[in-house]
Amino acid sequence: MNITEARERVMELRDLIERANRAYYEEAQPFISDKEFDEALKELEELENEYALQTSDSPTRRVGGKPSESFPTVEHPEAMLSLDNTYNEEELQDFDRRVRGILGEQTYSYSVELKFDGAAIRLRYEQGELVLGATRGDGYRGDDITRNLKTIKDIPLRLNGHAPPVAEVRGEAYMEKEAFVRLNEFREEQGLTPFANPRNSTAGSLKMQDPREVARRPIRFYSFDLSIEGEPAPDTHMEKLQMLNRLGLPVCDYHAVCKDIDSVLKIIYEWDDLRHTLPYETDGVVVKVNEDIFRTELGYTAKAPRWAIAYKFEAEQATTVIEDISLQVGRLGTITPVAELKPVQLAGSTIRRASLHNEDEIHRKDIRPGDTVVVEKAGEIIPQVINVVNPDRDGRPEPFKMPANCPACNEKLVKFEGEVAWRCMNPECPPQVKERIVHFASRDAMDIEGLGEAVVDQLVAEGLIQTFADLYSLKPEQLVPLERMGKKSAQNLIEAIEMSKSQPLDRVLYALGIRFVGRTVARDLAANFGSVDEVMNANFEDFIAVDSVGPKIAESVAAFFEIDKNREMVEQLREAGLQFEGEKKESFSSKLEGKKFVLTGTLPTLSRSEASELIEKHGGKTTTSVSKNTDYLLAGDSPGSKYEKAEKLGIPILSEKEFRDLIKD
């Protein structure tokens, strides 16, 4: 390779790595594997060194992605560097030789701990109180996401016992495998793109603007490093982990101290087998020189410490053949294509099926029946098709095309603008019926005790019900012949169904199973419209005026009540005696009628929800982003980029006192 070819290859690699970094850190949708990324970075570093092509802005000299514009930016007192990665024993032995070459005859040990595949987080405690939480960002500056991190139950708001004057904690936010599966199932039902893995679901969740939504995400946290101001720090990494534990911060159970690199390798092999049994995803092991005193002597490269390295486990993959592409129908009618695979062993289990997510994903990877494909377990639990091995083979069938009609009920499929999912809108579609009834009877909806999945399966199989409205026509004598029912159980179930008629209007609206309508939206619809009839007869513009309702929700609610079968079910529920009336939201005045507010920062005495409620009670409305249509910005401490945008657009900016003056009599 000559200098011209090297320069062209360097530019090509930099572009690839920059795009991969944006997809990984900012968009939470990676398009290459960690190993492919590391190989590209290694090749780039070798070319830059060999042909003297280094530049200060090269990806080889930077960490992660840049901070976002959605949150205030904070400087890290100590850089949050990444770790060099190795994938084999030989490279780990090279790391040990480099350490021995610098430290010579000095006595040292290695700490070994599991490496979490999540999002790196920095916490700052002052006098024991959590005052700041931030992302790693580019390693030197990150996003201030304190309010979001305070919703994570693993992160204490106050440290235990005698806390140092200032404690800087490093750790990893992550999501357990089962929680990740449930979140993706929910996203697919809502027509949203599923996350690629638990790491990306965690990173995406932490960047959400509403802390209440972050609180609903099943995010966990482990701490793994500590620095102290104002007091002597522990001398070794293991002592730091012990101190973190005493202070009330969670620490992973899997850590050890090893006297040499051979002992490290022994633990790595043990944990490589162990990882498949853990409830969370781990992508490797972190090896550090245990004694802090040697960190300065060993030093740093441009982007990583020389006293630590990450040993990455190989992702488990297998090759098999797609025998067919079938279609699944979800609770809300989402049509999910599924690869029917020739059975193959992967990560300790036999894989026969893999979700293909949606039609767009199939076309992006050009997947067709008969293809030989590589499959991998995302999050060690969900099989997914990575790529096609033989896209140029002879005799490939035509590209996959979604059928026009539902495979279960033959109703015409629809696809809403801006969504990737096709849907069946027939509420009597057989695969949807059971799931809709289970949802209707669930604790947050009509709360019908004793009506679980097993009972619903029997009721539908015996032809006793076709929709949830049919529940209110059941008789005890119809239930007695069912398996494990009996007279007493049958009577109890009938009584539970009868008691559900007293549930308030917002629960009735939630129980209908309208796409995108969760508990919060249902409460807001009930408060704003006051009755089912008002909701049924409202239009898109009426819905969009409700605080928590955006265009997608408004379109979904309007579409639900345009379907005759849905309106017929509602009438059945009315005849059964359910609560179709509620109380409209109390209004204090119309002083803010038609005015749109955006909230930012931390207000002195009001929470964001309390401020929103006051705005609504005086006739105003809150929105999430500043635009030329915004009338006021209500700003507190640490307002962020919304403040600057409001200033630029000339939008009036109110303090809490000015806001209270505006609404008081």
Active site residues: 115
Q: Is there a contact between 227 and 76 (Cβ–Cβ < 8 Å)?
A: no
CB-CB neighbours of 444 under 10 Å: 12
3-state secondary structure of 616: helix
Rounded (5°) CA angle 449-450-454: 140
Q: Quote the tokens at residue 47.
A: 């070319």
d(CA 559, CA 540): 9
Task: Tell me the two tokens of residue 412.
Answer: 């015409």
What whole-number distance in Å separates Cα of residue 328 and Cα of residue 45? 46
Q: What is the DSSP string of 44-80?
A: HHHHHHHHT---TTSGGG--S-PPPSSS-EEE-SS--
Could you tell me whether strands 621-623 and 596-600 are parallel, antiparallel, or unpaired per DSSP bridges? Answer: parallel
Q: Give how far the C-alpha of residue 232 lies from the chain's centroid of Cα atoms, to the nearest Å.
A: 38
Burial 402-433 (b: 16+ CB within 10 A, else e): eeeebebbeeebeeeeebebbbbbbbebebbb
Sequence-ordered list of residues with C-beta below 8 angstroms from that of 291, at least 6 positions apart, any chain: 108, 109, 235, 236
Long-range contacts at 262-268 (CB < 8 A, ≥ 24 apart): 263/110, 264/92, 264/110, 264/112, 265/89, 265/92, 267/112, 268/92, 268/112, 268/311
- The CA-based angle 629-70-610, given to 5 degrees, is 65
DSSP 426-441: -TT-HHHHHHHHHHHH
Please state, as a whole number, how many other Cβ atoms lie within 10 Å of the Cβ of residue 108: 17
DSSP 437-463: HHHHHSTTTT--TT--HHHHHHHHHTT
DSSP string, 367-383: --TT-EEEEEEETTTEE
Angle (deg, nearest 10), helices 34-51 and 3-21: 150
Q: Which distant-in-sequence residues (6+ apart) come within 8 Å of 241 by Cβ?
A: 113, 224, 251, 255
Q: Which two tokens stand for residue 194?
A: 């599923």
Cα angle at 631 between 625 and 633, to 5 degrees? Answer: 55
> What tokens does 311 get?
């040993």
CA distance 277 to 436: 33
In angstroms, rounded to a whole number, what is the distance separating the alpha carbons of residues 243 and 241?
A: 5
Query: Residue 509's closest CA among 564, 568, 439?
Result: 439
CB atoms within 10 A of CB 201: 26
Using DSSP's 3-state secondary structure scheme, residue 653 falls into: strand
* Residue that the structure tokens 């205030």 belong to: 72
- Report the chain's terminal Cα–Cα distance, integer Å: 79
Nearest to 368 by CA among 333, 395, 335: 395
